[in-house]
């Protein structure tokens, strides 16, 4: 029933992924953007809360002309209308209406939660016609001591057909390295009313990036071409060439993974390490960067609170294991987060990286903590902290942004794609600027409520902490970098949200390259200067004023800014570490 993922803590539902327009969505949207190299909007994420809100809004306005408002047809129609509308929105640099729209209907067949959506899809197949609707059903095929069991698939397909949906393809997920047996395919074909060619196996492979090639080898492209009459489309020669180039580069990337001998070890110091999905985009950014520099990625997960002195007393083994991981790593990464738990451990890790000249990357919260660590250690400002930790702090280095709501959590942060302007004085030496192709302005996605206190900026810069990137007005600090360090970079934005397998995030690429050695780092600097291309469509890279206006326009609901009505946005914060 959530309107979006913005108020959910990462350990509840995984990472909160941010889109260009500021939409806070499920982490699956990040997978789609990365795999398909597309740019999506908040409307590409449908939730029950969004649909019910839309239907209730129409009812309150009298748009149903006094009829009894029901799940069928009003909610199901709203779902179909939403899909049809959003499916026509351009999502790539061609700026053309898409030919195919992929719809993920989450949950399990028979769930109360998904029932209106399944009924909507049953109706939708008749609205758009047989040639325009293909259903892929994903089902688990357990492997019981080498025997592949088909009963769960038979049962779920039977339930699905009872609800009026007939699968065109059945994708069988196996959680073992063995492929789907031919006999298993035939059995599923017999009992699920499909041919053997319509049954695909998706077994465990060495890397998730092999999965598209695995499906391609089983004929999924040919089947969908025939089923959806895609062979009737007239595709320009330039697009065909682009597609062939993409396939070639993807095959080279995946083939290269199997022959990697050198490794790069990264200590990820965070507070949500119990659920790795909390840092999904960070992991993907590290993976993409490691592909580029031909290194096998090793991530050491470090719970930040385990680095704090109190743990040395209460659990010395855990304390020493955490510090062993940090000290033994080639690079140290501190990602985003909220609240007070584990912050001192992150600051200690940052201090170690700075003093020992270990490559460091701080993202959002990590950027803010790097500023606090500098203020404490270099400026010797005792009690330097964030207003998030102590609202009455004497030296708040990080403060609450003045335009942000203090009472409402959902959709009220500084969100979405925002420009960063590099300081002209840093052009000759800034490593991070060179990684972005040496341009004067870049765009990254933001998600934060706090910023560096303007009262301390001059003092921080004069002491040697360089804020090489700021907002267009020069008031908000967005990128920091140390000049005399192999790689010490912090970004207020979340560059991980814009990474691509074949076009890794520059900030992460620099971090992984620096962690792999100075020679590798210099090679990537030169490559990025000559070849970097932003992953954003040209029309998205505009001034912050224009971006803010577009975002606010999409967030207006009955004249109230934000994602939902004011009365719907009231929330009681009972835990300062809610995120």
Of 187, 213, 230, the one marking the end of a domain is: 230
The answer to whether position 5 is within a domain reads no
Cα–Cα distance for residue pair 138/148, rounded to 1 Å? 16
> Which residues have C-beta within 8 Å of that of residue 357, sequence separation ≥ 6?
485, 486
Could you tell me which residues are beta bridge partners of residue 267? 300, 332
CB 396 within 8 A of CB 385: yes
Same domain, 202 and 286: no
Q: In the chain, which residues have pLDDT < 50?
A: 557-579
Range of the domain at 300: 261-540
In DSSP terms, 400 is beta-bridged to 450
Kindly name the residue from 119, 288, 308, 364 that is annotated as catalytic.
364
Domain of residue 308, CATH code: 3.40.50.880
Told to judge if 448 belongs to the known catalytic residues of this protein, a careful annotator would answer: no
Kindly state the tokens that stand for 243: 């597609």
Q: Same domain, yes or no, for 329 and 477?
A: yes
Give the domain-ending residue among 230, 252, 282. 230
The answer to whether residue 7 is domain-embedded is no
Do 289 and 219 share a domain, yes or no? no
**Is 494 assigned a catalytic role?**
yes
Question: For residue 174, is it within any domain?
Answer: yes
- Tell me, yes or no, whether 40 lies in a domain: yes
Has this prediction a pTM greater than 0.85?
Answer: yes
pLDDT in tens, 62-77: 999 999 999 999 999 9
Active site residue 364: yes
pLDDT tens-digit readout, 140-190: 999 998 899 999 999 999 999 999 999 999 999 999 999 999 999 999 999
Helical (H) or strand (E) element with 97: none
CB 397 within 8 A of CB 452: yes
The answer to whether residue 523 is domain-embedded is: yes
Which entry of 288, 446, 448, 494 is annotated as an active-site residue?
A: 494
Tell me, yes or no, whether 370 lies in a domain. Answer: yes
Q: What is the CATH number of the domain that holds 194?
A: 3.40.50.300
214 and 307 assigned to the same domain: no
Do both 424 and 486 map to the same domain?
yes
* Residue with token string 């009812």: 59
Ordered alpha helix ranges (H), 41-87: 48-61, 76-86
Pair (266, 182) in one structural domain: no
Cis peptide before 114 (omega within 30 of 0): no
Q: For helices 343-355 and 316-328, give the axis angle rounded to 10 degrees.
A: 40
Q: How many domains does the chain have?
A: 2
Q: What per-residue confidence (pLDDT) applies to 106?
A: 87
Of 503, 514, 523, 489, which Cα lies nearest the Cα of 420? 489
Q: For residue 546, what pLDDT is reported? A: 82
Same domain, 226 and 275: no
Q: Which of 300, 496, 498, 544 is catalytic?
A: 496
Angle between helices 280-292 and 237-257 (to 10 degrees): 90
- Rounded CA separation 30/15 (Å): 9
Domain endpoint, select from 508, 525, 540: 540
């Amino acid at each position: 029933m959530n309107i979006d993922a913005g108020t959910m803590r990462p350990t509840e539902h995984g990472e909160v992924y941010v889109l260009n327009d500021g939409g806070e969505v499920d982490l699956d949207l990040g997978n789609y953007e990365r795999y398909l190299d597309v740019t999506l909007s908040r409307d590409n994420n449908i939730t029950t809360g969004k649909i019910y809100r839309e239907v209730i809004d129409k009812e309150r306005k009298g748009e149903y002309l006094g009829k009894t408002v029901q799940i069928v047809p009003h909610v199901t129609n709203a779902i179909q209308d939403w899909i049809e509308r959003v499916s026509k929105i351009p999502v790539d640099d061609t700026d053309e209406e898409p030919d195919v729209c992929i719809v993920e209907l989450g949950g399990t067949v028979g769930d109360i939660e998904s029932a209106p959506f399944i009924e909507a899809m049953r109706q939708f197949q008749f609205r758009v016609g047989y040639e325009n609707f293909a259903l892929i059903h994903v089902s688990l095929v357990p492997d019981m001591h080498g025997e592949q069991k088909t009963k769960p698939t038979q049962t779920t397909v039977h339930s699905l057909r009872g609800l009026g949906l007939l699968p065109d393809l059945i994708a069988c997920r196996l959680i073992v390295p063995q492929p789907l047996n031919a006999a298993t395919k035939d059995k599923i074909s017999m009992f699920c009313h499909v041919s053997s060619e319509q049954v695909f196996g998706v077994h465990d492979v060495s890397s998730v990036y092999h999965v598209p090639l695995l499906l391609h080898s089983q004929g999924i492209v040919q089947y969908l071409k025939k089923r959806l009459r895609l062979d009737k489309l007239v595709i320009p020669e330039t697009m065909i060439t682009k597609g062939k180039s993409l396939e070639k580069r993807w095959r080279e990337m995946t083939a290269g993974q199997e022959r990697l001998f050198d490794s790069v070890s990264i200590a990820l110091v965070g507070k949500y390490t119990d659920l790795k999905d909390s840092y999904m985009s960070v992991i993907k950014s590290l993976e993409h960067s490691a592909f580029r520099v031909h290194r096998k990625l090793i991530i050491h997960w470090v719970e930040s609170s385990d680095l704090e002195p109190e743990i040395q007393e209460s659990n010395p083994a855990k304390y020493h294991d955490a510090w062993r991981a940090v000290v033994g790593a080639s690079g140290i990464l501190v990602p985003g987060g909220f609240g007070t738990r584990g912050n001192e451990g992150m600051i200690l890790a940052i201090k170690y990286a700075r003093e020992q000249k270990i490559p460091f990357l701080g993202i959002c919260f990590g950027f803010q903590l790097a500023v606090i660590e500098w203020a404490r250690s270099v400026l010797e400002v005792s009690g330097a902290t964030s207003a998030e930790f102590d609202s009455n702090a004497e030296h708040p280095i990080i403060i609450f942004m003045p335009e942000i709501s203090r009472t409402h959590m959902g959709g009220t942060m500084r969100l979405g794609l925002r420009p960063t302007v590099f300081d002209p004085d840093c052009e000759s030496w800034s490593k991070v600027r060179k990684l972005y192709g040496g341009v004067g302005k870049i765009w990254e996605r933001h998600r934060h409520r706090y910023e560096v206190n303007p009262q301390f900026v001059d003092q921080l810069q004069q002491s040697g902490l360089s804020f090489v990137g700021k907002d267009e007005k020069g008031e908000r600090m967005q990128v920091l970098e140390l000049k005399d360090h192999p790689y010490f970079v912090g970004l207020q934005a979340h560059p991980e949200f814009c990474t691509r397998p074949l076009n890794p995030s520059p900030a992460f690429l620099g971090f992984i390259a620096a962690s792999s050695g100075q020679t590798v780092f210099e090679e990537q600097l030169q490559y990025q200067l000559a070849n970097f291309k932003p992953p954003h469509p040209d029309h998205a890279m505009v001034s912050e004023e224009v971006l803010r206006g577009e975002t606010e326009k999409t967030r207006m609901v009955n004249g109230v800014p934000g994602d939902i009505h004011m009365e719907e946005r009231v929330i009681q914060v009972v835990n300062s570490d809610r995120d």
